[in-house]
Structure 1
Amino acid sequence: MQNDEMVPAGYTTERVGFFTDAVFAIAMTLLVIDIPKPEEGTEFEVAEVGRAEAARNLLHFLYEQIPSFSAYLLAFYILWVVWRQHHQLLDRLVRMSPGLIRLHFPLLLLAGLLPYATTVYDHNTLNPAAAGLFTVAVATLLLLRSGVQRRALNDGLLRDDVDLDVYRRDARISWIVGWYFLATLLFCWFTPWLTFLWFGAPLLGGVLNRRAGLDSVRLGG
Structure 2
Amino acid sequence: MYNHRPTDRLEYFSDAVLAIAATLLATELPKPETETGLLQEIVKQWPAYAAFAASFLFICIAWVNHHNMFIYIRQTDQYLLILNILFLMFVTLQSFTTGLLAHHVGKPEERTAALIYHGTLVMMTLLYNCTWWYATRTDELLEEHADRKLIRSLSKEYVIAPVLHLAALIICLWSVPFSIIPVLFLYIYFALPRLSEKRVKQKNPT
Q: Indicate the TM-score class for this superposition, using the shorter chain for normalisation.
A: 0.7 to 0.9
SS at match of 1:31: helix
Where does structure 1 lack aligned partners over 5 or more consecutive residues? 1-6, 44-56, 214-221
Q: How does 1:1-221 map to 2 (within 5 A)?
A: 8=3, 11-39=5-33, 41-43=34-36, 57-126=37-106, 127-156=110-139, 157-189=141-173, 190-205=175-190, 209=194
Cα distance between partner residues in 1 of 2:118 and 2:45: 20
CA-atom RMSD in angstroms: 2.3
SS at match of 1:42: coil
Where does structure 2 lack aligned partners over 5 or more consecutive residues? 199-206
Runs of at least 4 residues of structure 1 off by over 3 A?
204-210
Q: Which has the larger radius of gyration?
A: 1
Match of 1:52 in 2: none
List per-residue Cα deviations over 1:154-204 (Å, max 9, x = no partner).
011111243332232122121122111112112224223423332222224
Cα distance between partner residues in 2 of 1:37 and 1:155: 49
Return the TM-score normalized by structure 1: 0.77
Cα distance, 1:14–1:70 mapped onto 2, change above 3 Å? same
Cα distance between partner residues in 2 of 1:109 and 1:123: 22
Match of 1:46 in 2: none
Q: Percent identity?
A: 24
Q: Does the CA-based 8 Å contact 1:177-1:204 persist in structure 2?
A: no
Q: Does the CA-based 8 Å contact 2:168-2:181 persist in structure 1?
A: no
SS at match of 2:30: coil
Cα distance, 1:184–1:107 mapped onto 2, change above 3 Å? same
Larger deviation, residues 192-201 vs 84-93: 192-201
- How many residue pairs align between the two structures? 190
Cα distance, 1:37–1:83 mapped onto 2, change above 3 Å? same
Return the TM-score normalized by structure 2: 0.82
Equivalent position amino acid for 1:86 in 2: H
Q: Does the CA-based 8 Å contact 1:177-1:202 persist in structure 2?
A: no
Cα distance between partner residues in 1 of 2:3 and 2:170: 45
Equivalent position amino acid for 1:133 in 2: I
SS at match of 2:102: helix
